[in-house]
A and B are shown apart, each in its own frame.
Chain A
Amino acid sequence: MTRNTEGATIVAASVLAGFGVTLVNFAQERSIDAQTALTFLVFLIGFGGIHLAVRAFAPKATPLLLGPVTALTALGFFQIYRLDLATESSRAGLQRWWILIAAGLACLTLVLLNRTSVSILRRYRNITLLVSVVLILLPNLPTDWGFPLRGLEVNGSRLWVLLDIGFTTFQFQPAEIAKLGLVAYVAGYLADHQRALREARRHIGPIAFPEPRQLIPLLITWGVSVLILISQRDLGASLLLFVGFVLLLYAATGTTGYLVAGGFLGLIAGVASYLAFDHVQRRVIAWLAPFEHYEDEGFQIAQGLFAMGTGSLSGAGPGLGRPDLIPNASTDFIFAAVGEELGFAGTVSVLALFALTVAVGLGIAFRSRDTFRKLLAAGLTFVLAVQTILIIGGIVRIVPLTGITLPFMSYGGSALVGNLILIALLLRISHEEAP
């Protein structure tokens, strides 16, 4: 596959986005309007822009990554547009702006790294850590003070920051950007201390365990995750942070003990939070018995299952299902919405595209010779994969629902910005590590 094929895939995915909008319009008995052309153009400019930036600044990067990502964004966008019509909101228009902004920032990432290399993230990792921690703590700002930057609570989670610049306000989830910084920091830290960490271990039976003092970073991360869980009442971000860190620690050292210890700490935090917080209890109840608690806790999951089951093999057709019956469909349950309207065919396609993206990401990690780049590529891919598995797993009832967004597909600007920058970083690593 060449760069030109990548361009063709992006054009095809842009057509898919425009065509999806057309089909929805058509199904909703609307005429074909400017939405189709606008959507097509936004995808073409956004992702085509990244494509051109890759040509200019990372020409040796893998051509396999951008296509699936564009297709996933297109599938998500058409559902956001479709839900807009049913719920009389105007998220699709905003999401289009966010696509342009996120693509612009992804291009900017490629431009900036072109002058140096991703290794700059290793060199300045302490600054990255500081910025990331500040970003994570931003939502804990007071919600009602005079400062234009405030915390914001949405659906019981303190994940949002509100920027009030007088004539308008912006909302974003800083954790979506911070997760990149944290992965970069951990990758840098582990690359520097890899040897020491790997050698400082003892075997208990067949399992290698780290020296107790080497567990300190793990304990710190665990503590931070629990703090996020308590202060921001968000299961998803803290779980993602902790799981991502444990996986990266294992990847760097090959010490199985980190997985065991991480699993143990995760279990403690999970049981404790189940006992302590009723929002965690509600999630577990909804996970185990959604239909028995249909009227309250289980409603969203049950509706998601009804949506997917009704969609069955081929789906109701774009614009012809009722995904709007699922609460918060465009943020939390976009996967179920796709399942209703595009059916099993649609959900399998989405899973395949994510699996492909993750496989390409892991392939970049495998091929990297430089330890930092290898760990960074692996870490970024882990975060992407774990996030995908957690949210879809929550919808299909493999794990409790964690309330994180589905990468590329869910409505939400900060997530899209974070994930497209993540893709830009993977592309850059792929370029730098190309033979």
Chain B
Amino acid sequence: MRSLDFVLAGVGGQGILLASDILCRVGMALGYDVKKSDVHGMAQRGGSVISHVRLADQVFSPLVPLGGADFLLGFEKLEACRWAGYLRPGGVAVVNDEAIPTLPLVERTPYPDDATIERILRARAGRVLFIPAGRLASQLGDQRVTNVILLGALSCLVDSALEVWQQAVAERVPPKARELNLRAFATGRAQVGNSLA
């Protein structure tokens, strides 16, 4: 049976729900049964956010089982670590190389250093790709396209036609932001191209 499970993790307000919507559209275009699950409400107020996307011939649970995800798309380094347990052993982590600090005073545990982050991710993942998506988004002039840059990088690793992704992005984002998002998507793809070279 064909199946692909994704977990997207980051901080509320990073455009995670939009990214998982696009991923679902890709899944539908590829002919999969699709389910997705998010948490809405209070948890979104700057808190840790996770979205599950499941593609298969028939999907039952909208939640990816712990240890079952083929891909982890991390919008923020700490959150990628927090949810790394969802990856299946040998799965792939694509992570925005960006740190969003936690609230000072209350949180006594320090933000992990890069070596620790790498160690946590590699404990599960067969492959870890860090993408400077936040920085690239700023260069493109809009922080909000960080999500689509990450999707561009992810698209290189999923066996699928490029046009399917481009169409899903174009359909889901607001018309006036379409061109910018398609550029962001291409930017993300180029990152993986570079790291594979």
Do A and B pair up? The answer is: no
